[in-house]
Amino acid sequence: MLVRDVMIRNVVAIDPEMPIKDVTALMELRDIRHFPILEGDQDAASLVGIVSDRDLRAVGSPHPSARPDVTIHDAVRSIMVAPVTTAHPEDAIEDAAHRLRERRVGVLPVVDGDRLVGIVSARELLHALTAVTGPSEPSTLLEVEVSNRPGSLAELLHYLAGRRLNVSSVTTVRSEAEAVCVAIRVDSIDGPGVARDLLRAGWTVLWPDVAGGPAATPAGGSSTAT
Partner 1 sequence: MTQTRTLLVDDPILARSPFGPSHPFRAERGALTRALLEDCGALRDDDVAGVDEIDERLLTAVHDPAYLDALVRAGRGKPVDDARYYGLGTGDCPIVPGMHEVALRVGEATVSAAELVANGSARRVLHLTGGLHHAHRSRASGFCLINDLALAIEHLTRRRGLRVAYVDVDAHHGDGVQAAFWEREDVLTVSVHQSGRTLFPGSGFEDEIGEGAGRGYCVNLPLDPFTDDAGYLAAFDALVPAAVASFRPDVLVLQAGADAHWRDPLTQLGLSGDGLEAVFARVIAIAERCCDGRMIATGGGGYDAWRTVPRAWARLWGRLAERELPDVLPESWRRTWGERLGVRLPTHLSEATLPDLDSLTTERAASHALAIARRVATRASPLWRASD
Report the residue number, 85 or 133, with the smaller CB distance to partner 1: 133
Q: How far is the CB of 101 from partner 1 (least distance, A)?
A: 24
Among 7, 165, 173, 180, binds partner 1 (CB under 8 A): 165
CB-CB contact of 145 with 155 (8 Å): no
Q: How far is the CB of 155 from partner 1 (least distance, A)?
A: 19
Is the link from the previous residue into 64 a cis peptide, with omega within 30 of 0?
Answer: no
Q: Is 173 in the site for partner 1 (CB under 8 A)?
A: no
Closest CA to 116 of 44, 54, 31: 44
Report the residue number, 102 or 137, with the smaller CB distance to partner 1: 137
Length of the chain (residues): 226
Q: How far is the CB of 78 from partner 1 (least distance, A)?
A: 41
Q: Is 138 in the site for partner 1 (CB under 8 A)?
A: yes
CA distances (Å), origin 89, targets 73, 100, 108, 111: 35, 15, 11, 7
Q: Which helix (H) or strand (E) holds 184?
A: strand 179-186
Beta-bridged to residue 224, according to DSSP, are none
Q: Is 64 in the site for partner 1 (CB under 8 A)?
A: no
Q: How far is the CB of 161 from partner 1 (least distance, A)?
A: 12
Q: Is 128 in the site for partner 1 (CB under 8 A)?
A: no
Q: Is 189 in the site for partner 1 (CB under 8 A)?
A: yes
Q: Is 200 in the site for partner 1 (CB under 8 A)?
A: no
Report the residue number, 23 or 206, with the smaller CB distance to partner 1: 206
Tell me how far apart the alpha carbons of residues 16 and 22 are, in angstroms, rounded to a whole number.
12
Q: How far is the CB of 139 from partner 1 (least distance, A)?
A: 5
Sign of the dihedral through C-alpha 70, 80, 6, 118: positive
For residue 96, the number of C-alpha atoms closer than 13 Å in the C-beta half-sphere is: 31
For residue 146, the number of C-alpha atoms closer than 13 Å in the C-beta half-sphere is: 21
Report the residue number, 52 or 140, with the smaller CB distance to partner 1: 140
- First-to-last C-alpha distance (Å) of the chain: 12
Q: Is 78 in the site for partner 1 (CB under 8 A)?
A: no
Q: Is 131 in the site for partner 1 (CB under 8 A)?
A: no
Q: Is 223 in the site for partner 1 (CB under 8 A)?
A: no
Residues forming the site for partner 1 (CB under 8 A): 134-135, 137-141, 163-166, 185, 187-193, 207-209, 214-215, 217-218, 220-221
